[in-house]
């Protein structure tokens, strides 16, 4: 549980600097595989500490309209699960820590052990599994341990104390606090459910706790950084990419948003 991992190191460094880490999400394959790899690199250039590379899935039932649309486009254009490893490699080469976030059937079909091996080969640090709870994860535990990968599971405001405990015990790297009940997407307010959930989670673990679902701007990033170890931003990046008139302006806008959010996660502790 206190194993020394790259994700853990990044979050510990951020903590030592008196700030939260910026954790950025983008799905591979949107708008194309090549452009998404460049986009992941741009996130790092803008200041993301950790990048979650999403794998497009036909039935993304945890995602709101922005990410749904992006993964539909990615699948229509032929994105494959293995393309995620290209983005992982790019993130690692750019100097940030890459994780993969994926619905479970894609890993199941790929082969859990083979997926873990290929992820580790590409320089990936671990997996975030939004529809896999620790109760169903024995095969993943074995593969993660063998390949020294982090296991990031989600906790939610509805999680009982008992489940919080069993979930954080299964995590390595950090704990993903899904701050609001609901699917991914930007929100006007982050809500105080997040702070309460982080407090409950921190009461049962020394692992870093990162907060996701809903953050889209610098002020919200700062607000969350005041109580969380990492601020996870997804839909806002996808939206920037989707709204961009062309590739270069999309990458510029991503860098700018990442930089703005990176400033936000550095303001929270003094705000």
Any idea which residues carry the catalytic annotation? 52, 63
How many residues interact with another protein (rule CB under 8 A)? 40
The one among 35, 45, 113, 131 contacting another protein by CB under 8 A: 131
Would you count residue 181 as binding another protein (CB under 8 A)? yes
Residue 26 near residue 54, CB atoms below 8 Å: yes
Q: Which is nearer to another protein, 131 or 148 (CB)?
A: 131
Q: Which is nearer to another protein, 176 or 227 (CB)?
A: 176
In whole angstroms, how close is the CB of 110 to another protein at the nearest point?
7
105 vs 109: CA distance, rounded Å? 6
Angle separating helix axes 33-46 and 84-93, nearest 10 degrees: 30
Residue 234 near residue 52, CB atoms below 8 Å: yes
Would you count residue 68 as binding another protein (CB under 8 A)? yes
Q: Which is nearer to another protein, 121 or 136 (CB)?
A: 136
Would you count residue 133 as binding another protein (CB under 8 A)? yes
Rule CB under 8 A: which of 27-66 touch another protein?
Answer: 57-62, 64-65
Residue 73 near residue 31, CB atoms below 8 Å: yes
Please give the full DSSP string across 213-255, using - where no structure is assigned: SS--SHHHHHHHHTT-SEEEE-HHHHHHHHH-SSHHHHHHHHH
140 vs 117: CA distance, rounded Å? 12
Q: Which is nearer to another protein, 85 or 110 (CB)?
A: 110
Would you count residue 101 as binding another protein (CB under 8 A)? no
122 vs 84: CA distance, rounded Å? 9
Q: Which is nearer to another protein, 46 or 130 (CB)?
A: 130
Among 197, 158, 193, residue whose Cα is nearest residue 177: 197
- Strand 126-128 relative to strand 97-101, pairing: parallel
How far CA 127 is from CA of 174, 176, 184, 215, 249, in Å, comes to 11, 11, 18, 21, 30
Would you count residue 72 as binding another protein (CB under 8 A)? yes
From 86-94, 101-109, 141-149, 214-222, span contacting another protein (CB under 8 A): 101-109
Would you count residue 85 as binding another protein (CB under 8 A)? no
Contacts with another protein, 215-244, as mask; x by CB under 8 A: ------------------------------
The one among 9, 135, 145, 248 contacting another protein by CB under 8 A: 135
Q: Which residues pair with 22 in a beta bridge?
A: 231
Q: Site residues (CB under 8 A) for another protein? A: 57-62, 64-65, 68, 72, 75, 80-81, 104-110, 130-133, 135-136, 153-160, 163, 167, 178, 181-183
């Amino acid at each position: 549980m206190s194993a020394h991992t790259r994700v853990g190191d990044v979050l510990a460094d951020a903590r030592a600097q008196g700030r939260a880490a910026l954790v950025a999400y983008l799905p591979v394959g949107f708008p194309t595989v090549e452009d998404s790899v460049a986009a992941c690199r741009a996130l790092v250039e803008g200041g993301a500490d950790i990048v979650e590379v999403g794998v497009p899935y036909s039935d993304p039932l945890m995602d709101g309209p922005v990410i749904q649309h992006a993964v539909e486009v990615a699948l229509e254009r032929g994105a494959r699960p293995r393309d995620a490893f290209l983005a992982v490699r790019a993130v690692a080469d750019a100097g940030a820590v890459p994780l993969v976030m994926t619905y479970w059937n894609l890993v199941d079909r790929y082969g859990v052990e083979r997926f873990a091996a290929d992820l580790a080969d590409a320089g990936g640090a671990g997996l975030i599994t939004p529809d896999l709870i620790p109760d169903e994860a024995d095969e993943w535990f074995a593969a993660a341990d063998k390949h020294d990968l982090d296991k990031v599971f989600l906790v939610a405001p509805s999680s009982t104390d008992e489940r919080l405990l069993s979930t954080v015990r299964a995590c390595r790297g950090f704990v993903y606090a899904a701050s609001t009940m609901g699917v991914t997407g930007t929100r006007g307010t982050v809500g105080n459910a997040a702070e309460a959930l982080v407090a409950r989670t921190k009461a049962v673990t020394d692992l870093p706790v990162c907060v996701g679902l809903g953050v889209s701007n610098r002020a919200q990033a700062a607000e969350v950084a005041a109580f969380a170890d990492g601020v996870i931003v997804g839909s806002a990046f996808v939206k920037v990419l989707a709204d961009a008139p062309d590739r270069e302006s999309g990458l510029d806008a991503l860098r700018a948003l990442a930089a703005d959010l990176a400033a936000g996660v550095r303001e929270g502790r003094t705000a």
